[in-house]
């Protein structure tokens, strides 16, 4: 692709080659994992598994190649309102960094605008940027709050995440139904009791994650 005059296309093409190589390397590791588990990677059902796992893992961690500014794009709008903006029940799926097993649940996000608001659907995109990586729930919650603080410069921001962790559910016996709840509170959400109470009441109002 070096013959192209468009530098960005050349870069993109070499990125694609690198991504393909990374995927093949990962597939080789998965194949070896299957052997170490005592499986036969040559049997019918497993033949394409290494490649599938490599692709799916790449997709599930695509947050590494995303960033908040791209996710929000130009969906920032000037406003006069200082009323709380809140989006509840944003679905999230992530992988715990300790076991690389899924944890999943809901995020509730609110902020107090300070001249700027973001398109509501973009909040879910911000969640994707940070959840599609190896994470711990506490850091994921902080990452989302930090990003919104940086982009919106709001008077306050609050993030609550309620999630269940397969590493707890599948491995333990006592934790089958336990949810982990984390929160990150900034600005007025941390310093002003009424704002904090209003947010937490809205966040927890029927917010349990049950299937």
3-class SS at 26?
A: helix
Return d(Cα 57, Cα 136) in angstroms, integer: 17
Q: Identify the active-site residue in 91, 98, 150, 176.
A: 98
63: number of Cβ within 10 Å: 20
Catalytic: 99? yes
Q: Where in 123-182 is the site for Zn ion (CB under 5 A)?
A: 167
Q: Which is nearer to Zn ion, 23 or 181 (CB)?
A: 181
**List of residues 6+ apart from 55 with CB closer than 8 A:** 23
Catalytic: 137? yes
How far the first Cα of the chain sits from its last, in Å, is 49
In whole angstroms, the minimum distance from the beta carbon of 165 to Zn ion comes to 6
With contacts defined by CB under 5 A, name the span among 19-27, 89-97, 135-143, 187-195 that binds Zn ion.
89-97
Catalytic: 33? no
Return d(Cα 155, Cα 158) in angstroms, integer: 11
Q: Identify the active-site residue in 51, 167, 179, 204.
A: 167
Return d(Cα 124, Cα 92) in angstroms, integer: 8
Nearest residue to Zn ion, scored by beta-carbon proximity:
167
In whole angstroms, the minimum distance from the beta carbon of 163 to Zn ion comes to 11
Q: Identify the active-site residue in 99, 142, 198, 204.
A: 99
The answer to whether 208 and 162 are in contact (CB under 8 A) is: yes
Q: Which is nearer to Zn ion, 167 or 202 (CB)?
A: 167
Does the protein bind Zn ion through residue 99 (CB under 5 A)?
Answer: yes
Contact residue for Zn ion among 98, 120, 150, 176 (CB under 5 A): 98
Catalytic: 98? yes
The answer to whether 135 and 95 are in contact (CB under 8 A) is: yes
CA angle 192, 197, 199 (to 5 degrees): 100
Q: Which is nearer to Zn ion, 27 or 168 (CB)?
A: 168
Contact residue for Zn ion among 54, 96, 109, 159 (CB under 5 A): 96
- Paired tokens of 127: 């969640």
Q: Which is nearer to Zn ion, 99 or 175 (CB)?
A: 99
Among 84, 189, 71, 60, smallest CA distance to 121 is for: 71
Catalytic: 150? no
Active site residues: 96-99, 137, 165, 167
Binding site for Zn ion (CB under 5 A): 96, 98-99, 167
């Amino acid at each position: 692709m070096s013959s192209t005059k468009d530098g960005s296309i050349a870069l993109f093409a070499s990125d694609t080659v690198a991504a393909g190589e990374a995927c093949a390397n990962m597939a080789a590791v998965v194949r070896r994992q299957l052997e170490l588990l005592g499986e036969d990677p040559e049997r019918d059902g497993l033949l394409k598994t290494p490649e599938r796992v490599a692709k799916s893992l790449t997709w599930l961690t695509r947050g590494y190649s995303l960033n908040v500014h791209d996710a929000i794009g130009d969906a920032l709008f000037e406003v006069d309102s200082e009323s709380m903006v809140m989006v509840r029940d944003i679905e999230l799926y992530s992988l715990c960094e300790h076991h690389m097993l899924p944890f999943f649940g809901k995020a509730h996000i609110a902020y107090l605008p300070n001249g700027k608001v973001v398109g509501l659907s973009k909040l879910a995109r911000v969640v994707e940027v940070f959840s599609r990586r190896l994470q711990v729930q506490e850091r994921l919650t902080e990452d989302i709050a930090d990003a919104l603080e940086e982009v919106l410069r709001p008077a306050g921001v609050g993030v609550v995440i309620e999630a269940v962790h397969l590493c707890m559910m599948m491995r333990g016996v006592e934790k089958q139904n336990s949810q982990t709840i984390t929160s990150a509170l900034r600005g007025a959400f941390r310093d002003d009791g009424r704002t904090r109470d209003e947010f937490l009441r809205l966040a927890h109002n029927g917010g349990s994650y049950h299937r």
